[in-house]
Amino acid sequence: MDDKIIEKLVSLNNSGFENSAWDEFSGLPADERKKLLSKLLELAEPAKNANKAVSMPNAASVIKRKLKPGVSFEHWYQEWQAPIKAHTMSTGSLKAYFPVPTRVINLRPADTNNVEEFVTIGFVCSPFESVDELLDARPEELKASESKRKEANDALLVHSENQFYYVASDDIYGI
């Protein structure tokens, strides 16, 4: 319910109806206003270690994966995402799941005949000196949930090759 109220308030505000958004918020019972304010403050809170992180990615993980016969990318993706969904539902926040800002991109081949192989690239804004330090900064529940992700990979993938890299250069062209 909080998310729907937040969406409505944002929509009213973005449409130029700030007074209507305020009236909507003010019309909520006091306990609902407190819960909503708490949720908004949580959403506004910076991610853990974000103040230490660099503004641009400084490391990346590149994983080449191949699906087992009969397994679709969508099936693998849903199984692989399960720990994130479970954590978000238990804490109400995805920020606590990752110790630093992380962007994950799955790339599928342009060759539509090759639906089994794909590449996952994770870009990380890490304040840590080493991969071990970064991995140690993860919450204990994340470390425990990694076994679920490993099980999904083992059950649905033929193989997976993972390599961690530090960013040597980062150029953006055409802007």
Q: What is the CATH number of domain 59-166?
A: 3.30.70.100
- Return the domain boundaries, the chain: 2-44, 59-166
User: What's the half-sphere exposure (Cβ side, CA atoms, 13 Å) at 97?
Assistant: 18
- The dihedrals phi and psi of 64, each to the nearest 5 degrees, come to -95, 125
CA distance 36 to 26: 11
Cα 87 from Cα 108, distance rounded (Å): 27
Length of the chain: 175
Q: Can you read off the two tokens belonging to residue 33?
A: 């206003």
> Two tokens at 160?
């997976």
pTM of the model: 0.59
Q: Encode the chain (175 residues) as per-residue pLDDT tens digits.
A: 567 888 888 888 888 888 888 988 899 999 988 888 888 777 776 655 555 555 678 888 999 999 999 999 999 888 887 566 555 555 555 666 666 788 889 999 888 788 899 999 998 888 887 878 877 777 776 666 677 777 778 888 898 888 888 888 877 787 7
Nearest to 141 by CA among 79, 80, 99: 99
CA–CA gap between residue 133 and residue 174 (Å, rounded): 35
- With contact defined as beta carbons under 8 Å apart, do 102 and 94 qualify? no
